Amino acid sequence: MHIAEGYLPPVHAAAWTVVAAPFVVHGARALVRQVRADPDAKLLLGAAGAFTFVLSALKIPSVTGSSSHPTGTGLGTVLFRPPVMAVLGTIVLLFQALLLAHGGLTTLGANAFSMAIAGPWIGYGVYRATRRIGLGVSVFLAAMLADLSTYCVTSLQLALAFPDPVSGLGGAVAKFGSIFAITQIPLAVAEGLLTVLIVRLLARNSPKELLRLGVLRRSDRPATDVTTAAVPAEEARS
């Protein structure tokens, strides 16, 4: 997923940076509002960013010399919504480019759009659409599809830059996507399961925090676990 430094043509790299910039700026404002409204969420914000950093730094060899890895954006997306995840994910990608040589500065916009913007928004849409089924199912689908959609967008980005000489854009998308799919599908399933486990641990140990964030609903836990102070805040965000 981390498109390497200098791999994209300069025009493509600049275009993706321009496309990603408004989302990141909006996310920065959303992050500031989140911290001002709920200062106690700082620790969980840091944990969500660290989760994304660690998972997306794990490189697993794929075919033809490429590599795959989880994205880790599903957790932050569910907890804090896609705008906040846009800036958290971009910060993660920036540090990975500078410290780990994963991705690059010229390709930061393209990588941010696929992993920190497109993936979280698609995952969050699925989360909202399936939330009535149950928290575990919706979190699993959100994390899994945020991961997979990131690689679908990356395949499109690479195909736009390097269309197949014979089959064109469609053939290039299929080629890049099939290369990623071999390792990425099982990784996405594993990431979904891990994200469900973490959300369940948070629900067990920090239910008030998840209620304030709107992740938990009154019906998700026994009535004795929901405080009278937390319930109105959660219901106001539903």
* Domain-located, residue 72: yes
Most confident range (mean pLDDT) of 37-51, 91-105, 115-129 is: 115-129
The rounded distance, in Å, linking the Cα atoms of 41 and 11 is 39
Query: Which three-class secondary structure state does DSSP give residue 179?
Result: helix
Is 35 within the bounds of a domain? yes
The answer, yes or no, to whether residue 93 has pLDDT greater than 80, is yes
- The model's pLDDT over 43-77, given as tens digits with 9 standing for 90+, comes to 999 999 999 999 988 877 665 545 678 999 999 99
Is a pLDDT exceeding 50 seen at residue 80? yes
**Helix, strand counts (H, E) of the chain:** 9, 2
CA angle 236, 52, 162 (to 5 degrees): 115
- On whether residue 5 sits in a domain, the answer given is no
Residue 83 is which amino acid? Answer: P
Handedness of CA 124, 130, 135, 140 (dihedral sign): negative
Q: What is the CATH number of the domain that holds 21?
A: 1.10.1760.20
Q: Tokens 């990425």, residue? A: 184
In a domain, 234, yes or no: no
Residue 235 lies in a domain: no
Is 155's pLDDT higher than 60?
Answer: yes
User: Would you say 116 and 2 are in contact if contact means Cβ atoms under 8 Å apart?
Assistant: no
CA distance 148 to 141: 10
Closest to 86 in 3D by CA, of 157, 160, 34? 34
Q: What is 17-35 written as a DSSP string? A: HHHHHHHHHHHHHHHHHHH
pLDDT tens, residue by residue, 176-227? 888 788 788 999 999 999 999 999 999 999 898 899 888 987 666 543 343 3
**Distances from the Cα of 16 to the Cαs of 75, 110, 208, in angstroms?**
25, 5, 39
The number of distinct structural domains making up the chain is 1
Q: Give me the percent of the chain exceeding a pLDDT of 70.
A: 88
In a domain, 39, yes or no: yes
**What count of other Cβ atoms lies within 10 Å of the Cβ of residue 206?**
16
Contact 78, 142 (CB under 8 A): yes
Question: Residue 63 domain-assigned?
Answer: yes
Can you tell me which residue has the tokens 């390497």?
4
- Class of residue 158 by CB neighbours under 10 A (exposed 0-12, middle 13-18, buried 19+): buried
- Predicted local confidence at residue 15, as pLDDT: 97
pLDDT for position 62: 60
- Give CA–CA dist 135/186, Å, rounded: 21
In a domain, 60, yes or no: yes
Q: Kindly compute the dihedral angle of the four CA atoms of residues 143, 147, 148, 149, in this order, to the nearest 10 degrees.
A: 100
Give the pLDDT of residue 234.
42
Domain that holds residue 27: 10-205
